[in-house]
Structure 1
Amino acid sequence: MRIPRLPSFLLGLALLAALPACQPDKPASTGQHAPALADSLDLDSLSDPVGTLDTTPVRRDWHRLARPTRRNAPLIVYRSVRRAPAGLQDTAPPPGEATLFDLARKASEYFQIDPTQAAEVRGRDGTIVRISAGTLVDARQKAATGPVWVELKECLTPAEMLLTNLSTTTTDGQPLQTAGMVFLKATAAGRPLQVAAGRTLRLELPATNGRPLPDMRLYYGQAASGPVRWEQAPELAAPASESTETIYTEARPMPAYGSGPADINRLIRYPQEALASRTQGVVFASFVVDEGGKVLNPKILYGLGHGCDEEVLRVLRQTSGRWTPGQRNGEFVKVKMMLPIRFSFNEGQLTAPDSTPAAAQEAPVMAAASLPTGATEEEPAAPEPTDRYVFHCSQLGWFNADRPLSGATGSHQATAPETDGATFVRLVLRGATPSILAGQPTESGYAFENVPAGRRAILIGLRYQGGTPYLAWQETTTGQQPTPLEFQETTLEELERRLARL
């Protein structure tokens, strides 16, 4: 019997109906299921590498762009994914029974970048990593050319640090106060990469409430069987391209503000004094845009007076920190700019009750793209951005912004019914820069050394047995006689909510 042939469109509908329903992935809040201290995944596997081999042509159409500042921006901002892409997960089971940290540690984000171009990786919690072209190399110092996977893990709150098994103690046992911890790793074709000798990458960490605290230094994490411990990073001289003596007048591309001239246009206001005196003409200003997009040393080369000069300086200060920096040979550099602002008067502006836009006209620009001007009072002047910690890092791995904990000379004891390997006790000293100290098991509980006396603190006990998490929470004062910790059964969701109160 001959089976009638279905029309092609009906066959397509039948195939679609046979497919399983697809739901969008929603990353679990408890993070990746992997060994606690194996904080990085191998990402792309050796058996089926994502990166290109040396013998294969290098592709340039694979990277994902996420809204460059403008068409000729000097860097590419990459979009992240919360889970390692298919085929890149670390499928190796954890050694022995899984711990609480295997289930609850902070999830990473993953970025696929082109290492031959200047790239910017932005974490969901505010961390920014800038990687210049040619910075990432393999063990033989050969620059990566194919696709590179970058893993970023941000632990900026006490809860995230606790659940990721982190503490704020140096390798020699000295306590620290932390402003945040970040993990960064890069791999190509399944092999780890490192920072090239003599090169650095730029790490920016958000400050609590946008107010950086003084004396914060960069620390590198060291591998350990317990919580990661820290060593102060050596003082690095600024890269040659970032020294104050090297200021260029040309770059490719040049620094830029926003998406084009219209963004500068919206900031300029025609001063009332200039309107009353019918002043018009061009104000020429010079300034330097540094590697972080800040405006340095703005000054007027040729002015008009009547408030026009001050208005140009106001706008330059307002935009400081928001420029896309210039670049030379894949490095962010300081670039000196000359900007003309044209004020064009017309009679209708005198009759407007509010500020009336000036006639936006282009003017010739030296060492910069043409930027016309306009007027508005919608945006108030913004102070110079001071909301971040900025470090230059010569290696990958764990990073920590810290300063020593003052007055740390005493000890504190915690009494616990059990001190087995499944129980972890931490002493948390809260504040804008919290300290998280790991207790050392003793016969009666846990001991904390180098602790300031008389400080209000919280003892946190974590235990994971038989697939069930337990939590102990005790408010205390350092140096006083402790009471026994009481562990109560909980869930991962409730554990995260409770720790978030820290």
Structure 2
Amino acid sequence: MPTFRTFRSAFLYLGLLLVASCQPDKPTRTEQAVPALADTLTLDSTANPMGATDTAAARRNWHRLAKPTSRNAPLVVYRSVRRPPAGLAASPAPGEATLFDIGRKASEYFQIDPTKAAEVRGRSGTVVRLAAGTLVDAAQRAATGPVWVELKECYTPAEMVLTNLTTLTTDNQLLQTGGMVLVKATAAGRPLQVAEGRTMRLEIPAAKGHPLPGMQLYYGQATTPVRWVAAPATTAPPVLETVYTEARPMPAYGNGPADINRLIRYPREALVSQIQGVVFASFVVDESGRVQQPHILRGIGHGCDEEVLRVLRQTSGHWMPGQRNGEFVKVKMVLPIRFSFQPGQLSTDTSRRPLTDAEPAEIAAAPSEEPAEAAPTDRYVFNCAQLGWLNVDRPVSAGTVSLLAATAPDDATTVRLVLPGATPTVVAADALENGYQFSSIPAGRRGVVVGLRYVGGVPYLAWQEVTTGQEALAPLEFEETTLEELERRLERL
């Protein structure tokens, strides 16, 4: 007979069954494959994430370097701020890259000490000289720490076209250019400028070493493309340049006289004739260490005079220039070289002395045969009162001819008219409904209409040769190309 304990156990068991039957059904759980962190790093963007059920094999070679990173490479350190800088919210989002972003001429960068006279030389021949204390910040405080100078040189039509430069002034006057350069300076990431009342010296190499008359300095304005305005007359190049006879320090070559001594070779003719004596040579060491106006004041012949001139030409560009008040200056020098005949041995006296009234009369009188100024003969020289884009140009007579390049205008297309030559002209066109029009250009000039288009990362080129005022242009036809081929084609300009 069942006992009370048996009935109680059965009752509790029945209650548990009833409670279990009243619980809601649990949803069926589907296991999803979540990619590992290393796999998610292979995504190109968060806008197109990897699907949870994507079974494609993940790339795992993204971290393999082609070569080790240089330990001397500059490192940019970013620091967070509690709130964005003023005006950042109003800044537009970065747009798609243009052809000019990837095709423009690359810049060179130089680190200088702004408290000392400095000179930077570009690969294409540009020379920029800055006296000590020339660079200041927006509050006219002199820069004291390391300064980075950026230099971009554009001398060919190809470089100008790909850097989105033209030769138009702010009032649409045509120019023919001898070269365009960008000079910028920064300290601790902040832009610098030329101090009020000061200038920097700019040298632009002339085409084939022959400067043209009437060339002026123009400053670039903050427009796209850059437009130009003539620099004030006070920044024109000086007619005469001062040549000093004293400086501190004086110009020097290498580590001293022994370095020049090692370059001298006793001429065979002088050895055979047992000629000896002192050759006095006069020359000017300019601000960049080049030797100018070398000539013999008093010689001994038999090849010794020519040997001294040869050595001076060989050392040109390698002298440490002289300075006055912290600025590089031109200094006239007299170099006596003693040829002492001893078989198998050459003795030289390479003492360097500036030209002074204390020198013998015949030495002091000889330089008067040449002009005192050392005006450059192969380049343009200007004193610039500001940084930025700088241009050496002369105006082109205004024309009355118009030229229409027929094509559908859009934001991805740029059309230029290039009038080539030693001083080329690059003209921008006005976009119309039916194409791009060039206005007020001179007639009878041979030129090339260059159309550039950049769509989906692919460059397109249109090219038509034309004589202005004598023929109409056919509609522009753009052909797909590569950046390398585009640059090679533009070099034909």
Over residues 135-177 of structure 1, what are the superposed CA-to-partner deviations in whole Å (9 max), with x where a residue is unaligned? Answer: 1111121110112122221222211211111001111211111
Q: How does 1:283-362 map to 2 (within 5 A)?
A: 283-295=279-291, 303-304=299-300, 308=304, 312=308, 316=312, 323-347=319-343, 359-362=346-349
Counterpart of 2:214?
215
Distance 1:244 1:430 in 2: 33
* CA drift at 1:295: 4.3
- TM-score normalised to the size of structure 2? 0.70
Counterpart of 1:475?
465
Matched, 1:487 2:475: no
1:497 to 479, 488, 491: 488
* CA drift at 1:453: 1.0
Task: Indicate how the Cα distance of structure 1 residues 244 and 163 shifts in structure 2: closer, same or farther if over 3 A, else same.
Answer: closer
Matched, 1:366 2:372: no
* CA drift at 1:490: 2.6
Overall identity of the aligned pairs, in %: 67
Distance 1:209 1:279 in 2: 41
Q: How does 1:43-192 map to 2 (within 5 A)?
A: 95-192=94-191
The question of whether the paired residues in 2 share the 8 Å contact of 1:288 and 1:297 is answered with yes
Counterpart of 1:63?
none
Distance 1:205 1:466 in 2: 38
Task: Indicate how the Cα distance of structure 1 residues 292 and 391 shifts in structure 2: closer, same or farther if over 3 A, else same.
Answer: farther
Distance 2:352 2:400 in 1: 64
Counterpart of 1:256?
252
Task: Indicate how the Cα distance of structure 1 residues 454 and 94 shifts in structure 2: closer, same or farther if over 3 A, else same.
Answer: farther
Task: Indicate how the Cα distance of structure 1 residues 396 and 122 shifts in structure 2: closer, same or farther if over 3 A, else same.
Answer: same
The question of whether the paired residues in 2 share the 8 Å contact of 1:414 and 1:483 is answered with no
Distance 2:297 2:303 in 1: 15
Task: Indicate how the Cα distance of structure 1 residues 174 and 274 shifts in structure 2: closer, same or farther if over 3 A, else same.
Answer: same
Distance 1:467 1:342 in 2: 67
Distance 2:225 2:412 in 1: 14
1:390 to 361, 381, 387: 381
1:23 to 63, 67, 73: 67
Task: Indicate how the Cα distance of structure 1 residues 204 and 22 shifts in structure 2: closer, same or farther if over 3 A, else same.
Answer: farther
Distance 1:439 1:278 in 2: 73
| More divergent stretch after superposition (203-212 vs 390-399) | 203-212
SS in 1 for 2:102: helix
Task: State the AA in 2 paired with 1:415.
Answer: A
SS in 1 for 2:101: helix
Over residues 360-386 of structure 1, what are the superposed CA-to-partner deviations in whole Å (9 max), with x where a residue is unaligned? Answer: 333544359xxxxxxxxxxxxxxx985
| More divergent stretch after superposition (141-150 vs 295-304) | 295-304
Distance 2:284 2:68 in 1: 46
Distance 2:195 2:414 in 1: 38
Counterpart of 1:355?
none
Task: State the AA in 1 paired with 2:346.
Answer: A
The question of whether the paired residues in 1 share the 8 Å contact of 2:202 and 2:381 is answered with yes
Distance 2:283 2:115 in 1: 29
2:419 to 422, 429, 454: 429
| More divergent stretch after superposition (293-302 vs 200-209) | 293-302
2:233 to 232, 235, 254: 235
SS in 1 for 2:346: coil
Distance 1:419 1:237 in 2: 40
Over residues 66-124 of structure 1, what are the superposed CA-to-partner deviations in whole Å (9 max), with x where a residue is unaligned? Answer: xxxxxxxxxxxxxxxxxxxxxxxxxx986544332223222222222221222222323
Task: Indicate how the Cα distance of structure 1 residues 386 and 320 shifts in structure 2: closer, same or farther if over 3 A, else same.
Answer: farther
Task: State the AA in 2 paired with 1:21.
Answer: L
Task: Indicate how the Cα distance of structure 1 residues 389 and 425 shifts in structure 2: closer, same or farther if over 3 A, else same.
Answer: same
Distance 2:243 2:205 in 1: 28
Counterpart of 1:371?
none
Distance 1:184 1:335 in 2: 27
Counterpart of 2:399?
409
The question of whether the paired residues in 2 share the 8 Å contact of 1:249 and 1:367 is answered with yes
Distance 1:44 1:188 in 2: 15
Counterpart of 1:59?
none
The question of whether the paired residues in 2 share the 8 Å contact of 1:291 and 1:334 is answered with yes
Counterpart of 2:26?
none
Distance 2:445 2:300 in 1: 60
Distance 2:177 2:237 in 1: 26
Over residues 188-232 of structure 1, what are the superposed CA-to-partner deviations in whole Å (9 max), with x where a residue is unaligned? Answer: 1222100112222222233334444343322111111x3111112
The question of whether the paired residues in 2 share the 8 Å contact of 1:44 and 1:187 is answered with no
Matched, 1:462 2:449: no
Distance 1:421 1:290 in 2: 49
CA RMSD of aligned residues (A): 3.5
Q: How does 1:429-448 map to 2 (within 5 A)?
A: 429-448=419-438
Distance 2:245 2:77 in 1: 42
Over residues 391-433 of structure 1, what are the superposed CA-to-partner deviations in whole Å (9 max), with x where a residue is unaligned? Answer: 222110001122223x541323123221223221100111122
- TM-score normalised to the size of structure 1? 0.69
* CA drift at 1:474: 0.8
Task: State the AA in 1 paired with 2:491.
Answer: A
The question of whether the paired residues in 1 share the 8 Å contact of 2:110 and 2:149 is answered with yes
| More divergent stretch after superposition (470-479 vs 195-204) | 195-204
Q: Which runs of 5+ in 2 are unaligned?
A: 1-62, 81-90, 356-374
The question of whether the paired residues in 2 share the 8 Å contact of 1:170 and 1:231 is answered with yes
Task: State the AA in 2 paired with 1:221.
Answer: G
The question of whether the paired residues in 2 share the 8 Å contact of 1:284 and 1:340 is answered with yes
Task: State the AA in 2 paired with 1:232.
Answer: A
SS in 1 for 2:407: coil
The question of whether the paired residues in 1 share the 8 Å contact of 2:185 and 2:191 is answered with yes
Distance 1:427 1:363 in 2: 57
Distance 1:259 1:476 in 2: 58
SS in 1 for 2:233: coil
| More divergent stretch after superposition (150-159 vs 267-276) | 267-276
